[in-house]
Structure 1
Amino acid sequence: MTDTDTQTPKTGYACIAGYLRTLDSSPGVYRMLDAESRVLYVGKARNLKARVGSYSRPSPQHSRRITQMIRETSAMMFLTTRTETEALLLEQNLIKQLKPRYNVLLRDDKSFPNILVTTAHDYPQIKKHRGAKKEKGDYYGPFAGAGAVNRTLNQLQRVFLLRNCSDQDFETRTRPCLQYQIKRCSAPCVGHISAEDYGRSVQDAQSFLQGRTKGIQQKLASEMNAASADMEFERAAALRDRIKALTQVQSTQGINPQTVEEADVMALHIDGGQACVQVFFIRAGQNWGNHDYYPRVSGEEDPSEVMEAFVGQLYSDREPPRALILSHGLDNGDLMAQALSERLGRKVEILVPQRGEKAELVQGALRNARESLARKMSETATQAKLLRGVGEAFDLPQTPKRIEVYDNSHIQGAHAVGAMVVVGPDGFEKNQYRKFNIRGDQLTPGDDFGMMKEVLTRRFQRLLKEDPERTTGTWPDLLLIDGGAGQVSAVREIMEDLGVGDIAMVGVAKGIDRDAGKEEFHRTGKTVMALRHNDPVLYFIQRMRDEVHRFAIGTHRAKRSKAISATPLDEVAGVGAGRKRALLAHFGSAKAVARANVSDLQAVEGISQNMAQKIYDFFHASG
């Protein structure tokens, strides 16, 4: 790859035309930048010179969006690549990384959960897994969300009675847990089932997850009939319950396709300048749920442009299925299929069906996309009205586009955390939430003022460093904090010391009798105010306050739980989670590990002589 970045004082068409003499017909990626070097647009081209040339002069083919983008362009950057496929992949990665204003942008970028059947244990565990597939085992997915995974896991446990406990819990069990009592586990931890029988159940569960359900039901029915004939009525009843649970799993999955084994079905609907893409996940011939996305669009793009950008960004860091079944074709469908095939290491088909079952699947996804976008637009209109109401209630100069709400959580100063939630035109923006582990060693336990000072100082020092010009939309228009006049005065002083005292701030106090609905609102230099008890804006503020409180409490509990489960072994270099589990399972406690000699430590699986010596030295260094 080569990188060219030539500066020119011109803007618009003249600026772009100035680059043509330095370009050739190589494939590559180009970036358009404004006068402040912010990336406006990222695009790819089979022929860079031809593509850039199309922007160097006015054209009736240019939409208002493209014309405005050209007008703002003050500089360009270029990366040449060996192939157009490489350019396509690079383009999508840069779009996700830089989030240019004029590109179609996939805003929801969370990972999807899988079901993991572990293979590193004699009695495999079945559990939900999200993230990198580092743990040894067989992965099944993706599922559309945690709800779809949890429902499937629940039913699988009822049918196949597989354990979901950790290896550490398994090793230390002396009697069956509640899962056994409610018939969700066969209790292999205490020997209620042999390794061979448990292994067969694991194989059946994996067969189900691979779509081979008919054979499993026939096998269970045969076993039930045999048990009944042998007058083993209790076993026959248990098998009957498992067959019933398996039938229920299949019914809750909805309509399962007959001719599609593995695919993502995607349908796009655009209305009123907004877009929704509905994705159905088909794996092993089963419907594993659906998820709706709302990519950022201007409303002027062709559906093929939106769909191509969505597909490229969705699979930039995910493994694609064998087939994509789409409602709209892509501008570069063959190129996208080639790029995804190279990434997967096997052929990926991109289909736009016109008839048959695949077309019916697309129509079902399209119906869901229309309904989801209608709900979203309704919610957005309501949200916009509430934000306007907040601006009017607190006499803000303009309607806030970003509200940040802060709270602290601790128990007598211990495990203290700060929390920030963000509210904008699309409601609660959970990917913008932030937690702050309180670091102040000099703080008095329970000093809420001190904790809030630390949180806000860290928050705004970072903003001042990353975006001093306030151009990225990450600066708040309004701060909501929990507290009355004293808290507001203290926070205002902090903000002015940081040089950001112009940001509006409101303190929300509990009010008379500390009842919801009687909140008082404190602002610097203004009298205390209240909102009428049935005002929608008051309910909106209560929801924001409750959400930040929920987030703060959850963060605090997680920190406290981690501290409770911490042991001195966490500080031993080279002792990770696996060795820690092995040591605790062998000795029973960290205190017993500390008392062990080198030969005893070396007897633990995974602990070498050098590691045993290192652990021994750690606990006996002061002796």
Structure 2
Amino acid sequence: MDGDAVRERAGELPREPGVYQFEDGGTVVYVGKAVDLRDRVRSYGEPRSRRIRRMVDRADRIDYSITDTETQALLLEANLIKRSQPRYNVRLKDDKSYPLVQLTGHEFPRIEITRDPDPAARARSDGGTRTRGGSRTGPTTSGPRVFGPFTNKTRVETVVKALRETYGVRGCSDHKFADRERPCLDYDIGLCTAPCTGEIDGESYVADVESVVRFFEGETGVLADPLRREMERAAADRSFERAANLRDRLDAVEGFHGGAGEAVASEADERSVDVLGVALEGESATVARLHSESGQLVERDRHAVTIPEGEPDPGGDGRAEARATDTRAGAVLSAFVTQFYAERDLPDALLFSDRPDDGEVLDWLDREGVAARVPGAGREATLVDLALKNARRGASQPDALAALRDALDLDAVPRRIEGFDVSHAQGRAAVGSDVTFADGSPEKANYRRKKLDDRNDDYANMYDLVRWRAGRAAGADVGDARDDRPDPDLLLIDGGGGQLGAARDALADAGWDVPAVALAKDEEVVVTPDGTFDWPDDADHLHVLQRVRDEAHRFAVRYHQTVRDDVSTELDNVPGVGPETRKRLLRRFGSVDGVRSASVAELQAVEGVGEKTAETIETRL
């Protein structure tokens, strides 16, 4: 786009807060936030740096989303950066995002907390969306509606539960909702009015849903008033525990839209403090975090951050170079704070090595009651120096992942690696595992597992497993929920050339472009599409792959054992053999055939199996 095209598009944008996206052929290349969308986008008509000029020249479309507040724009920007990984934004290698609340577009809408809303809720049929206060997804109010994002997940969960208890909006899946003959447990405990079985008519249910919408649009009394009446009734009935619970819920509700502001903590009240130091190295950075509780350091970690290509050239002048470095450090810290704390509690105070360059981030921290400062001297300055030393050590130490990139001739350092393995017993109880490592460490929250069709074919099983992951990531499989984890930099297949070939076929069929290699167990040989590598046993980059492979294998075997023990067997029909005894028998003898061939004495050696039960097992099997 040239300057005239940008200014023309800006003239079509509203003068409201929100988020804008520059896109190139449908790919998001930059995400930004604005207090006034029209003015902010218009400024790109005359880019102030080479990097921004390249971004604008590359873009062919500008999209936008409207929000009610600057804070909502700040959080939505962080979510979109994590989801799209645009190349011209500072990006934390992290997959956390801020929660949203969605009312689905069903005839009887469902309420849910999500980090990946229905794509229809993000459709831009009128050129933009609203993420709260009307949740506009088009020129009409039909279809799914999304509210948020929000900073405090616990408070969101409390409010959603209170809304369900008050208005009975369903939270069940479509599968659970369909073809029911009687209401489920949610109806019995007062969380749902059971539209699935006609316990409430459609018109009344829609009216209740609209009350929920009114609350998210800012009408706090829609929920606060009935909660207050219920609390007063509980107190009058001397049900003090319930009254206290309702009081806490009411506090959460009244503070949800900012009605109950949080006081800024004084230094004496700062029990939880995070210290952030940043070290820059080319197009990457390392942020080290020290976490202190009640004055004691309890946690240290480092995080890799990608800096957009082509930052402004300082021009060779030493002072200018120092100023540019300061600016880049401030930009990294601004992006890090909003992205890192997406699903983590904010501390009472944040100490920075450099001042974040985004005033809106500092305003947001102030509204959240977080003290933010750059210490000049004293113990706090010492802590910042320690964080900087940790960051520099992380940025300069020999990197096994960089060595892995060089050894495999990859385009980028494989900071995110997913490992795959399958496990079964002669084709029975077949399962697959998908584990995730980030910067060489396991991310167990991002582990996935899948039951596979029972068959004694490792290649077909590996194809199905990788095809399942790739299809959900690439959006090729409509029947499955989209996998919103970041794309890995490398896939590691447990096996040899056959398993790798099956995995690559699955990637090609799904249209998911991710490099993949395999690691065979016996000889520890790395198999790639171009050949094999027999690296030294003490090679750090080989150890990285071995850790991922071994964890994928462990996770698959563990799941296989669970599935194997849970399958229905002939033992279910043996009197005196319950689920626990059946599991013990299968673990001891490996299979029903093993149990069948065991003697009465061997059966009695299993906990819970007496002489009579052992004889019954022998007779029945």
TM, length-normalised to structure 2: 0.52
Aligned pair partner of 1:384 in 390, 400, 405: 405
State the partner residue of 2:272.
262
- Opposite residue 264 of structure 1, the aligned amino acid is D
- Opposite residue 406 of structure 2, the aligned amino acid is K
| In structure 1, C-alpha distance between the alignment counterparts of 2:393 and 2:543, rounded to whole Å | 29
- Map of 1:137-536 to 2, 5 A cutoff? 261-298=271-308, 300=311, 302-333=328-359, 335-343=360-368, 347-375=369-397, 378-388=399-409, 406-420=420-434, 435-440=448-453, 443-444=454-455, 446-462=456-472, 465-466=475-476, 474=487, 480=493, 482-483=495-496, 498=509, 514=522, 516=523, 534=536
1:52 pairs with 2:15: no
The offset of 1:551, in angstroms, is: 1.4
| In structure 2, C-alpha distance between the alignment counterparts of 1:107 and 1:420, rounded to whole Å | 19
State the partner residue of 1:79.
65
| In structure 1, C-alpha distance between the alignment counterparts of 2:388 and 2:489, rounded to whole Å | 36
- Opposite residue 495 of structure 2, the aligned amino acid is D
3-state SS, counterpart of residue 298 of structure 2 = strand
State the partner residue of 1:207.
none
- Opposite residue 417 of structure 1, the aligned amino acid is V
The offset of 1:18, in angstroms, is: 1.5
The offset of 1:328, in angstroms, is: 1.1
Identical aligned residues as a percent: 30
Distance 1:307 1:18, change over 3 A: same
2:464–2:506 Cα contact (<8 Å) kept: no
State the partner residue of 1:195.
none
3-state SS, counterpart of residue 302 of structure 1 = helix
- Opposite residue 52 of structure 1, the aligned amino acid is V
- Opposite residue 42 of structure 2, the aligned amino acid is G
2:3–2:45 Cα contact (<8 Å) kept: yes
1:26 pairs with 2:6: no
| In structure 1, C-alpha distance between the alignment counterparts of 2:77 and 2:515, rounded to whole Å | 39
- Opposite residue 27 of structure 1, the aligned amino acid is P
2:356–2:362 Cα contact (<8 Å) kept: no
3-state SS, counterpart of residue 18 of structure 1 = helix
| In structure 1, C-alpha distance between the alignment counterparts of 2:517 and 2:301, rounded to whole Å | 37
The offset of 1:411, in angstroms, is: 3.5
Aligned pair partner of 2:77 in 72, 76, 91: 91
| In structure 2, C-alpha distance between the alignment counterparts of 1:304 and 1:410, rounded to whole Å | 51
| In structure 2, C-alpha distance between the alignment counterparts of 1:353 and 1:501, rounded to whole Å | 47
| In structure 2, C-alpha distance between the alignment counterparts of 1:265 and 1:88, rounded to whole Å | 22
- Opposite residue 303 of structure 1, the aligned amino acid is A
The offset of 1:19, in angstroms, is: 1.5
1:400–1:478 Cα contact (<8 Å) kept: no
Distance 1:72 1:503, change over 3 A: closer
| In structure 2, C-alpha distance between the alignment counterparts of 1:99 and 1:12, rounded to whole Å | 24
Distance 1:32 1:429, change over 3 A: farther
The offset of 1:352, in angstroms, is: 1.0
| In structure 2, C-alpha distance between the alignment counterparts of 1:285 and 1:438, rounded to whole Å | 47
Distance 1:407 1:336, change over 3 A: closer
- Opposite residue 4 of structure 2, the aligned amino acid is A
The offset of 1:326, in angstroms, is: 0.9
Distance 1:439 1:490, change over 3 A: closer
| In structure 2, C-alpha distance between the alignment counterparts of 1:13 and 1:363, rounded to whole Å | 44
1:89–1:339 Cα contact (<8 Å) kept: no
- Map of 1:125-136 to 2, 5 A cutoff? none
| In structure 2, C-alpha distance between the alignment counterparts of 1:381 and 1:520, rounded to whole Å | 17
| In structure 1, C-alpha distance between the alignment counterparts of 2:491 and 2:96, rounded to whole Å | 27
- Opposite residue 18 of structure 1, the aligned amino acid is E
Aligned pair partner of 1:42 in 31, 50, 65: 31
| In structure 1, C-alpha distance between the alignment counterparts of 2:465 and 2:381, rounded to whole Å | 53
- Opposite residue 313 of structure 1, the aligned amino acid is Q
Query: RMSD of the alignment, in Å?
Result: 4.7
- Opposite residue 268 of structure 1, the aligned amino acid is V
- Map of 1:558-573 to 2, 5 A cutoff? 558=559, 560-561=561-562, 564=565
The offset of 1:264, in angstroms, is: 1.0
Distance 1:81 1:522, change over 3 A: closer
1:263–1:323 Cα contact (<8 Å) kept: yes
State the partner residue of 1:210.
none
1:413–1:447 Cα contact (<8 Å) kept: yes
Distance 1:354 1:563, change over 3 A: farther
Q: Kindly name which structure, 1 or 2, has the bigger radius of gyration based on alpha carbons.
A: 1
- Opposite residue 430 of structure 2, the aligned amino acid is A
State the partner residue of 2:548.
547
1:106–1:294 Cα contact (<8 Å) kept: yes
After superposition, the C-alpha distances for 1:287-308 in whole angstroms (9 at most, x for unaligned) are: 1111111112136262111111
Distance 1:431 1:12, change over 3 A: farther
| In structure 2, C-alpha distance between the alignment counterparts of 1:272 and 1:69, rounded to whole Å | 19
Distance 1:477 1:432, change over 3 A: farther
What is the aligned length? 388
The offset of 1:521, in angstroms, is: 6.0
The offset of 1:556, in angstroms, is: 2.6
- Map of 1:601-616 to 2, 5 A cutoff? none
- Flag structure 2 segments of 5+ consecutive residues without an equivalent: 98-152, 159-266, 312-326, 479-484, 569-577, 582-621
- Flag structure 1 segments of 5+ consecutive residues without an equivalent: 1-10, 112-130, 137-256, 392-397, 568-588, 593-623
Distance 1:284 1:558, change over 3 A: farther
| In structure 1, C-alpha distance between the alignment counterparts of 2:35 and 2:156, rounded to whole Å | 37
The offset of 1:382, in angstroms, is: 1.9
3-state SS, counterpart of residue 325 of structure 1 = strand
The offset of 1:493, in angstroms, is: 7.6
| In structure 1, C-alpha distance between the alignment counterparts of 2:528 and 2:283, rounded to whole Å | 38
State the partner residue of 2:137.
none
| In structure 2, C-alpha distance between the alignment counterparts of 1:304 and 1:318, rounded to whole Å | 21
- Opposite residue 340 of structure 1, the aligned amino acid is L
- Map of 1:584-623 to 2, 5 A cutoff? none
State the partner residue of 2:111.
none
2:29–2:88 Cα contact (<8 Å) kept: yes
